[in-house]
Amino acid sequence: MTEATTSTSTSLNPLLVGSYATILLIWGASQFVLIPYVVHLLVLVTAILYAACHRSLTLREEVPKEGEEGYDPDAAPRDTLKQEDAYQFPIMGSLSLFSLYLAFKFLGQDLVNLLIGGYFGLVGCGALTMTLAPLVQSLAPPSLSKPTLGWKKTIKHPLPDWLLENPLDLGLMFSVTGLVAFVLAVGIVYLYFFQGKHWALNNVLGICFCLQGIERFSLGTYKIGAILLVGLFFYDIFWVFGTDVMVTVAKNLDGPIKLLFPRSLTPNEESGKIDLSLLGLGDIVIPGFFLALLLRFDAHIAKVGITKINIHESFPKPYFHSALVAYVLGLMTTLFVMIQFNAAQPALLYLVPACLGSSFLCALVRGEVKELLDYSEEEEEEDEMKPVEEAKPSEAKKDD
C-alpha cells in the first residue's frame, strides 16, 4: 500500500480537543448539577467515540519490520479480528453471558462480584495507566519519559525451544512518568472498590476502557466488521427479548462494565441510593470498533500518510461523520423506545442498522462500494501471501 507522507502541520483538531474537554467537563459538572440523563448520555458517548476513533488512527502507522530502521522486537503485536473470530464472537459471548447468569444463580451475587471485581481491578489499573500516561508525559520533562527504571534478565532452561523460548528474556522496564501514571491509576481503582463504588469513579474506569479498547483494536476489514455487527444484532435481540438473562446479569454485576447516568442528585427515600440509568460498554465499544475502521478508511481514501501519524491531521471524513450521526440517531431511537414502553431495549437492534446502513449508503453515493469492501488492515496475512503469489509465475517459467 503506497500513500502520501504525513502532513507536517502541527495545528490541533478543534473537535478532537473539544471532545476531550467535553468528557472532563460533563463528568465534573454532573456531580454538582443535574443534567438530564438523555442529554448526559448522548453528549458523553458522542465525545468518547470521537476521541477514541481518532486515537485509533495510530493503527495505520507502518510498523518497521525486522532489519528496518526503528524495528522493535519487544513491540506488542496489533490486535486484529479474524473472520472466523467474528463468526464465533456471538457464540462465545452467549456462553460467557449464560455462565455469569448461572454463577449469580448458584454461587451468589457477593462471591461472583468479588471474583470479577479482582479482574476488573487489574484491568482497570492497566487501562487507567495507559490513559493517564500521555497526560503525565506532556507535563513532565522529556528525560522522565525514557524507560530507565526496572530490570531485565536472561534465563537459560532445559525445556525444548518449541515449548518455551531459550534463553528466556524476562524483565520490566518503565519510565518515571509511567510509574506516576500507574500510582494514580492504583489510587483511583482503590477509591472505586473500597469507597462504595461511586458512579462517578465507575464512569472514569468505563471511559478509559472505551478509549483504550477502540484505540488499540482493529476489525481488519469492513466485511469482518459487518459479520460481527450482524451476529451481535441477533445476539442482543435474543438475550434481551427472548430471556431475562441479559437484564439479570446487567443488574447483578456490580462492576465498571457500564456507564451510569444519575436521574437525581438526592438519594431515593426507599433505597437510600441515587436513581441511575445505564448504558453497557458493549453498546459503545462494538460500534466504536466499526466507526474507527471507517475513519481509518477515510484516511486511506484521502491518501493520508502511514508514517508519523498525526491524529489531529485534517482530511475529509464522510464515512466516519455519516456513521457517527447515524449512531447518535440510533441511540436516540433506543432511548425513545425505552422511555415510551418503559422496558429495557437491546441497543444494537437500532445501532447496527444505523452504522451498516449509513456507511454502505455513503459508499453508494460516492461510488466507492468496491473500495470499501476491499479495504483491509490485515497487513501480515497480505504480506505472507505475496511471496507465494509471486513465486507461481517463476515456477511456471521453469516448467516451460
Active-site annotation holds for 236? yes
Q: Quote the distance between the C-alpha of residue 53 and its chain's center.
A: 8
The answer to whether the beta carbons of residues 353 and 333 sit under 8 Å apart is no
Q: In what helix (H) or strand (E) does residue 262 lie, and over which residues does it extend?
A: strand 258-262
Q: How far apart are CA 219 and CA 377, in angstroms?
A: 8
Long-range residue pairs from 360-368, CB within 8 A, at least 24 positions apart, any chain: 361/322, 362/318, 362/319, 362/322, 362/323, 363/319, 366/318, 368/301
Q: Which residue has the cell 495545528?
A: 11
Amino acid at 316: P
Listing DSSP states for 128-175 in one string gives HHHHHHHHHHHHS-GGGGS--EEEEEEE--SS-TTTS-SSEEEEEEE-
Amino acid at 2: T
Q: Which residue has the cell 454461587?
A: 107
CB-count exposure of residue 317 (10 Å: 0-12, 13-18, 19+): buried
C-alpha cell at 79: 490486535
Q: How far apart are CA 208 and CA 201, in angstroms?
A: 11
Active-site annotation holds for 254? no
- Considering the candidates 79, 85, 283, 399, report the single residue annotated as catalytic: 283
CB atoms within 10 A of CB 182: 19
Q: Is the peptide bond before 134 cis (omega within 30 degrees of 0)?
A: no
Q: How far apart are CA 293 and CA 323, in angstroms?
A: 11
Identify the DSSP state of 243.
Answer: -
- Considering the candidates 236, 254, 275, 298, report the single residue annotated as catalytic: 236
Active-site residues, by number, are: 236, 283
